[in-house]
Amino acid sequence: MGEIDLETYFARIGYGGPRAAGFELLAALQRAHPAAIPFECLDPLLGRRVNLDAASLQAKLLARRRGGYCFEQNGVLWRVLTQLGFQVTPLAARVRWMAPEDAPLGPLTHMLLKVELPEGDFLCDVGFGGQSPTAPLRLEAGPEQATPHGLYRLVDRDGGLELQMRLPDRWAALYRFNFEPRVLADYEVGNWFTSTWPASRFTTGLMASLAPEGRRLSLMDTGLTTYFADGRTEQRTLASAAELHQTLTRDFGLDVSAEEAAQAFAKLSGPAA
C-alpha cells in the first residue's frame, strides 16, 4: 500500500514525543492529526481527481499543506500506524449523520480504522469532519466515552455498531459499521463514487473542519462556525471569494490559491447552488 515518510508526518502534525507503539502514542496522534491537517473537500468540488496512493497522499496532505476527506485522512493514518508497529484493520461504514432514523442505509462510503492494543480494540477515525473523535474510542457498545472535543458512544445495530455523538439535546448517529476487513480496492470504489457522483455532497458543496485546542472550526459552503469547549458558538457568512480565500488560508492553514477560492465561491453562489 506504499509508505508515508514518518518524519514529514510528525512535522506536519507538530508531534515530537515518544514513538513506541501503544495507547499513549495512538491517543497523541489522534489528537494532533485533526488539529493540524484539516478535513476538506475542495478537489471534488473543483472537479479534480482524488488519488489514494501513498505518494499522492503525502504530496497533498503533508508536503503541499492541504487537507482531505476520510479516504485521504485515514489513508495516511492507516499507513503511519502500520509503519509504527500497530496492528491495524481498515474498516468501512455507512454514513447516518443528519439522516432520519428510518432512512434507508446508504453505501459504504466512509473509512475508519480498528487498532488492536493490549488494553483492547479501539476505533480510530480522523476523517469524519467536524464530528471526528479526537481520541481513540474503545470498541464496545454501551459506555459513554469522553474526548477533548465531545462525548461519544457505540450502540449495537444490525449485527455491527453505530457510532453516536452527543449533541446538546440528543445523541446523533454518525455511521454504522461491522468488522469485515477492507482492502484498498474497496476504498477506491467508494472514493470514486463520493468524489464524482453529481449529487454527492462533496461535488456540490464545500466542507472544511479543524480541531485545535479548545474549539472546532467548521465551514459549510460559505458558513463558518466556531464551536468552543464551553458551549459557545460564533457564526459568520463569507460574502466574497476574498473572504473565503482568507478563511481557508488563515483559519484552516490550507495552501489554496486565490484563483481556487474564487472558483469554489462561484460554484457555491451560482444558480445551481
Residues 6+ apart with CB under 8 A from 44: 50, 69, 194, 195, 196, 200, 202, 203
Catalytic residue among 41, 70, 124, 149: 70
Q: In this structure, is residue 194 part of a structural domain?
A: no
pLDDT the model gives residue 146 = 97
70 is catalytic: yes
Between CA 53 and CA 63, with CA 58 as vertex, the angle to 5 degrees is: 150
Comparing 103-107, 187-191, 202-206, which segment has the lowest mean pLDDT? 103-107
Q: What is the pLDDT of residues 41-50, one digit of tens each?
A: 999 999 999 9
Tell me the per-residue pLDDT of 76-126, one tens digit each, with 9 for 90 and over. 999 999 999 999 999 999 999 988 888 999 999 999 999 999 999 999 999
Residue 65: C-alpha distances to residues 12, 57, 75, 254 (Å): 8, 11, 16, 6
**pLDDT by residue (tens digit) across 131-161?**
999 999 999 999 999 999 999 999 999 899 9
Catalytic status, residue 41: no
Q: What is the DSSP letter of 131?
A: G
Instruction: Output b/e per residue, 56-71; b: 16+ Cβ within 10 A.
Output: bbbebbbeebbbbbbb
For residue range 224-247, what is the model confidence (pLDDT) as tens digits? 999 998 889 999 999 999 999 999
Q: Is 136 domain-assigned?
A: yes
Is 33 annotated in the active site? no
Q: What average pLDDT score do residues 211-226 get? A: 97
User: Which domain CATH number covers 113?
Assistant: 3.30.2140.20
Residue 263 included in any domain: no
Residue 108 belongs to what domain range? 6-184
Residue in 33, 41, 124, 125 annotated catalytic: 125
C-alpha cell at 218: 467548521
In a domain, 224, yes or no: no
Catalytic: which of 33, 110, 149, 245? 110
Q: How many domains does the chain have?
A: 1
Evaluate whether residue 79 is within a structural domain: yes
Task: Provide the pLDDT for residue 272.
Answer: 57
Identify whether 177 is part of a domain. Answer: yes
